[in-house]
Structure 1
Amino acid sequence: MSLIEYKGFGGVVLAADMLGDENDPAVLLVPDIGQSRANWREVAEALVLSGRRVVNLDLRDGTDLAPHIEDLRAVLAQMGSRPVVVAAGRGSWIAAHALGLDDGTHLAAGLVLVDMPVDDVVIASAAATRLVLPTLAVRGGFSPAEASADSDAFFAALPLGQSADINDCDLELASDRKEALLGQLLEFLERRQPREAMEFKAGSDPRTLRDAMGCFATGITIVTALDAEGTPVGLTANSFTSVSLDPPLLLVCIANTAGTAPTLREATHFGVNVLQIGQQPTSNRFAARGEDRFANQPWAPGHTGVPLLGSSLVSFECQHESLHEAGDHFILVGRVVRAQFEPHRDPLLYFRGKYRRLHFA
């Protein structure tokens, strides 16, 4: 077990225990507000023995749900791979809201709500219907829970097979209840996040395909250009490849929804900056929304005027050669007119949703 830290909303540091093999499917445990990760420890250890990698999270102090919701979304974004989120008590409300703000499938593979407090039938039904990703609601997971009209409404709003009432089990000891809860978790995990090879088929969750693509290790680039007013723009991209040596061509794939997409579509010239191991903060900055990406970032205009980032492993200056529409991206092909490179630096790598570095035998 190791202690790790995540950056939450407003820069708050959130501590977590990391247990298990990093190659195993991930589970994120979220405690009730006012409790700590110690409440999940026995369950975490049992999940590790069942072939899971477990992140056992501590919440910040305070009962206001809003910062907790933003914290959880920030943690999930930093995890790299999509875990199944298992939350208890009011932590369940946090998880349900965090993953119900959009379809939630880009952040998590599934959601388990244990002993979720339900006090309002309207809110309960709305929370259930907003959850698009696979969900299991468990009642009586840690202690006996009496049924109520509100909690019954919440359970009824969930699709068939997405609820379990441990109170219905024959339980004599507290350990029996914990075993029953673990059994429900493992059954859900095996159905929604099996340990054997994952498979994508046409019509499957697009994130599954993204996870498959993420098994191909890549470098990281920042694509740059000047907009119509001469202001530098850029974004982080790892869909990059050499196309041809004669003529010298390369390509990058740009999401149609990217803020810089209109500029890159129209630019006569653009730059591709291949990052080295020390430029991870730069990669993060150019991937984030709402930041002045070039603030405090050393850069200089190349021979064609495009912004080139200082200290890059390689900087290519390209003339627009062609553009091809490709689903939710477009393929931008450039003719290389100039390249500067520093071969003694190590590349910044990306694999399975995380930054990596070279390891030599």
Structure 2
Amino acid sequence: MSLIEYKGFGGVPLSADMLGDENDPPVLLIPEIGQSRAAWRDVAEALVLSGRRVVNLDLRDADQLAPHIEDLRAVLAQMGSRPVVVAAGNGGWIATRALAIDGTHLAAGLVLVDMPVDEEAIADGLAARLALPALVVRGGFSPAQSGTASDAFNAALPIGQIADINECDLELASDRKEALLGQLLEFLELRQPRDAMEFKAGSDPRTLRDAMGCFATGITIVTALDAAGSPVGLTANSFTSVSLDPPLLLVCIANTAGTAPALREAGHFGVNVLQIGQQPTSNRFAAKGEDRFANQPWAPGQTGVPLLGSSLVSFECERESLHEAGDHFILIGRVVRAQFEPHRDPLLYFRGKYRRLHFA
């Protein structure tokens, strides 16, 4: 991250954080009037991890909209390529006015997060003049607010879409930020797609790992008993069904995993597929140096393997075969018993982050 300075209207200096690769598609973050760029910091860092170059801008100290509007147009003119502008709260009042004239020449898209009702903009028919793709997010930082006036503004956007982040879909405070990020990334991928990355044999294995991470998975915890009869387990997302007749599944285990020796020798093992409320459990079984079963409800299955309580599904398996595969080994199990709760939602993992189901 580097600190840069833009020249605003009248030569006023405006500070901004610059994050990410300069060759990635740009995103310009605008805070609410009266707030600093720190309000966007977590989202900015997450966008960088998702392959975006982010400019996180500070506004000047002013209450009037006019200087902020001219500042934004000046900053956009100084940027080397058209960004998607993402504005929080009444920062959206600035962005909508700045982009109502020649907006398509200055920006590739506009995202308005929790913008309050703008009576003046509605009266002036401002929305109809925003000719660039726009996303209105309600509930991005605080519970969603809607009304007749805001609905009219949103409906008038020529290329607009609306995303509501509903309270019923959130369990933790951090879920709201994850939901907002998900909406941003979906819009960015649609309106400002990145060039495809490429892995070739012999190149950086991290690139291959990133490519593999584009396949969304569930998360499991593989459990067994070690030679002393103590429960062991680890988090794994390389899991798949193999056959229904006979009933077979497999998991891939890293040779370097601390639990790997016990799993190599185990005659039986369990695969516990996690539900959305078990993210802390996933973290615990992925960490080193922790008593993974401390304060964790579990019970022995019919073969004695530890099965975790509250899982989406728990498979109890007899070892069928084991195959060496590079820096991992493939453990194939014959399912002898499965217990599941189909009314829960799965804990998902995609591109290095936990995810949740999104119902269209």
Between stretches 138-147 and 42-51, larger displacement belongs to 138-147
Q: Secondary structure of the residue that 1:105 maps to in structure 2?
A: helix
Q: Deviations over 1:287-314 (max 9, x none)?
A: xxxxxxxxxxxxxxxxxxxxxxxxxxxx
Between stretches 39-48 and 117-126, larger displacement belongs to 117-126
Aligned to 2:137: 138
Judging changes above 3 Å, is the alpha-carbon distance between structure 1 residues 180 and 11 closer, same or farther for their aligned structure 2 residues? Answer: same
Query: Rg larger in 1 or in 2?
Result: 2
Q: Deviations over 1:26-59 (max 9, x none)?
A: 0000000000000000000000000000000000
1:78 maps onto 2:78 in alignment = yes
Aligned to 1:68: 68
Aligned to 1:350: none
After TM superposition, the structure 1 = structure 2 runs for residues 82-97 of structure 1, keeping only pairs within 5 Å, are 82-97=82-97
- The residue identity in structure 2 corresponding to 1:152 is D
Query: How far did 1:157 drift?
Result: 2.2
In 1, are the aligned partners of 2:113 and 2:140 still within 8 Å (CA)? yes
Q: Secondary structure of the residue that 1:162 maps to in structure 2?
A: strand
Question: C-alpha separation between the residues in 2 aligned to 1:157 and 1:168?
Answer: 26
Aligned to 2:320: none
Question: C-alpha separation between the residues in 2 aligned to 1:35 and 1:113?
Answer: 16
Q: Secondary structure of the residue that 1:44 maps to in structure 2?
A: helix
Query: How far did 1:127 drift?
Result: 2.4
- The residue identity in structure 1 corresponding to 2:116 is P
Query: How far did 1:151 drift?
Result: 1.5
1:24 maps onto 2:42 in alignment = no
What do you get for the CA RMSD once the two structures are aligned? 1.8
1:152 maps onto 2:181 in alignment = no
Question: C-alpha separation between the residues in 1 aligned to 2:133 and 2:144?
Answer: 23
- The residue identity in structure 1 corresponding to 2:15 is A
Q: Which runs of 4+ in 1 moved over 6 A?
A: none
- The residue identity in structure 2 corresponding to 1:56 is N
Question: C-alpha separation between the residues in 2 aligned to 1:119 and 1:66?
Answer: 15
Question: C-alpha separation between the residues in 2 aligned to 1:122 and 1:62?
Answer: 20
Judging changes above 3 Å, is the alpha-carbon distance between structure 1 residues 103 and 39 closer, same or farther for their aligned structure 2 residues? Answer: same
Aligned to 1:128: 127
Q: Deviations over 1:298-349 (max 9, x none)?
A: xxxxxxxxxxxxxxxxxxxxxxxxxxxxxxxxxxxxxxxxxxxxxxxxxxxx
Aligned to 1:186: 185
Q: TM-score if structure 1 supplies the norm length?
A: 0.52
Question: C-alpha separation between the residues in 2 aligned to 1:141 and 1:118?
Answer: 15
Q: Secondary structure of the residue that 2:126 maps to in structure 1?
A: helix
Q: Secondary structure of the residue that 1:97 maps to in structure 2?
A: helix
Count of matched residue positions in the alignment of Structure 1 and Structure 2: 196
Question: C-alpha separation between the residues in 2 aligned to 1:120 and 1:81?
Answer: 32
Aligned to 2:14: 14
Question: C-alpha separation between the residues in 2 aligned to 1:93 and 1:65?
Answer: 8
In 2, are the aligned partners of 1:124 and 1:151 still within 8 Å (CA)? no
In 2, are the aligned partners of 1:18 and 1:55 still within 8 Å (CA)? yes
Aligned to 2:296: none
Q: Secondary structure of the residue that 2:73 maps to in structure 1?
A: helix
Query: How far did 1:145 drift?
Result: 2.8
1:118 maps onto 2:114 in alignment = no
Question: C-alpha separation between the residues in 2 aligned to 1:77 and 1:103?
Answer: 12
Judging changes above 3 Å, is the alpha-carbon distance between structure 1 residues 133 and 9 closer, same or farther for their aligned structure 2 residues? Answer: same
Aligned to 1:103: 102
Aligned to 1:5: 5
State, as a whole percentage, how many aligned pairs show the same letter. 81
Q: TM-score if structure 2 supplies the norm length?
A: 0.52
After TM superposition, the structure 1 = structure 2 runs for residues 312-351 of structure 1, keeping only pairs within 5 Å, are none
Query: How far did 1:165 drift?
Result: 1.2
After TM superposition, the structure 1 = structure 2 runs for residues 225-240 of structure 1, keeping only pairs within 5 Å, are none
Q: Secondary structure of the residue that 1:136 maps to in structure 2?
A: strand
- Where structure 2 has 5 or more consecutive residues not aligned to the other structure, the ranges are 197-360
Question: C-alpha separation between the residues in 1 aligned to 2:158 and 2:68?
Answer: 27
In 1, are the aligned partners of 2:144 and 2:165 still within 8 Å (CA)? no
In 1, are the aligned partners of 2:19 and 2:45 still within 8 Å (CA)? yes
Question: C-alpha separation between the residues in 2 aligned to 1:196 and 1:128?
Answer: 31
Aligned to 1:54: 54
Query: How far did 1:120 drift?
Result: 2.4
Question: C-alpha separation between the residues in 1 aligned to 2:96 and 2:54?
Answer: 19
Judging changes above 3 Å, is the alpha-carbon distance between structure 1 residues 122 and 194 closer, same or farther for their aligned structure 2 residues? Answer: closer
Aligned to 1:162: 161
- The residue identity in structure 2 corresponding to 1:34 is G
Q: Secondary structure of the residue that 1:126 maps to in structure 2?
A: coil
Query: How far did 1:196 drift?
Result: 1.6
Q: Secondary structure of the residue that 1:4 maps to in structure 2?
A: strand
Q: Secondary structure of the residue that 2:107 maps to in structure 1?
A: coil
Query: How far did 1:131 drift?
Result: 0.5
Q: Deviations over 1:243-264 (max 9, x none)?
A: xxxxxxxxxxxxxxxxxxxxxx
Question: C-alpha separation between the residues in 1 aligned to 2:160 and 2:179?
Answer: 16
